[in-house]
């Protein structure tokens, strides 16, 4: 990775910078507080997700033979594609450069195993015209996590654009 990342496990609402991302997370937490248990796939129908529909990734969790996971991008948002420049739809996270895959895999595996939301701020590869990505990772599925919803918001252009 071209720079340091900040990772927050089970973040406070105040840890989330983007206003739309914060509203989505508040709704998720409200569902849990209402005694409905851990929120799940119903997040895909939350109206709070609508402003970020082009910034989301839906990843199917794939077990790999020697243990661990890979992640198949079933949805790869148009705004992410525009910034990254490569469409990852129907591709696996392991197809990213090794360092990026290790970073993503570590965060995703923690979200799955601990069944928690994770917030991160991290720089993309230098060729991507984004200073940082702000993301929330939501594990989906009950009792077994089968999907990850990742909402990925670009934070500022790296080059004047």
Condensed to tens digits (0 to 9), the pLDDT of residues 140-151 reads 988 889 999 999
Give, in order, the Cα–Cα distances in Å from 8 to each of 12, 93, 120, 131, 147: 9, 21, 6, 19, 20
* pTM of the predicted structure, to 2 decimals: 0.91
- Residue pair 24/151 in contact by the 8 Å Cβ criterion: yes
Q: Is residue 38 pLDDT above 80, yes or no?
A: no
Contacts with 140 (C-beta within 8 Å, 6 or more apart), sequence order: 40, 41, 43, 146, 147, 148, 149
Q: Which of 105, 144, 146 is nearest to 7 (CA)?
A: 105
DSSP 8-state assignment for residue 92:
B
CB-hemisphere CA count at 13 Å for 13?
11
Q: What is the pLDDT of residues 95-131, one digit of tens each?
A: 987 678 888 999 999 999 999 999 999 988 788 888 9
CATH number for the 6-155 domain, one of 3.30.450.20, 3.40.50.2300, 3.40.50.720, 3.40.50.1240?
3.30.450.20
Higher pLDDT pick, 40 / 96 = 96
pLDDT-derived band at 67, boundaries 50, 70, 90:
confident
Percent above pLDDT 70 for the chain? 93
């Amino acid at each position: 990775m071209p720079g340091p990342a900040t990772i927050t496990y089970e973040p406070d609402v105040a840890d989330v910078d983007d206003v739309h991302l914060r509203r989505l997370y508040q709704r998720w937490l409200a569902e849990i507080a209402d005694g409905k248990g851990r929120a799940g796939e119903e997040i895909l129908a939350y109206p709070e997700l609508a402003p970020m529909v082009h910034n989301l990734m839906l990843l199917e969790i794939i077990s790999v033979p020697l243990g661990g996971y890979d992640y198949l991008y079933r949805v790869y948002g148009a705004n992410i594609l525009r910034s990254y420049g490569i469409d990852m739809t129907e591709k696996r996270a392991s197809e990213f450069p090794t360092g990026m895959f290790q970073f993503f895999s570590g965060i995703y595996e923690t979200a799955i195993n601990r069944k928690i939301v994770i917030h991160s701020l991290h720089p993309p590869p230098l060729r991507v015209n984004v200073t940082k990505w702000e993301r929330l990772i939501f594990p989906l599925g009950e009792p077994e996590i089968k999907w990850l919803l990742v909402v990925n918001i670009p934070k500022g252009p790296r080059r004047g654009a």
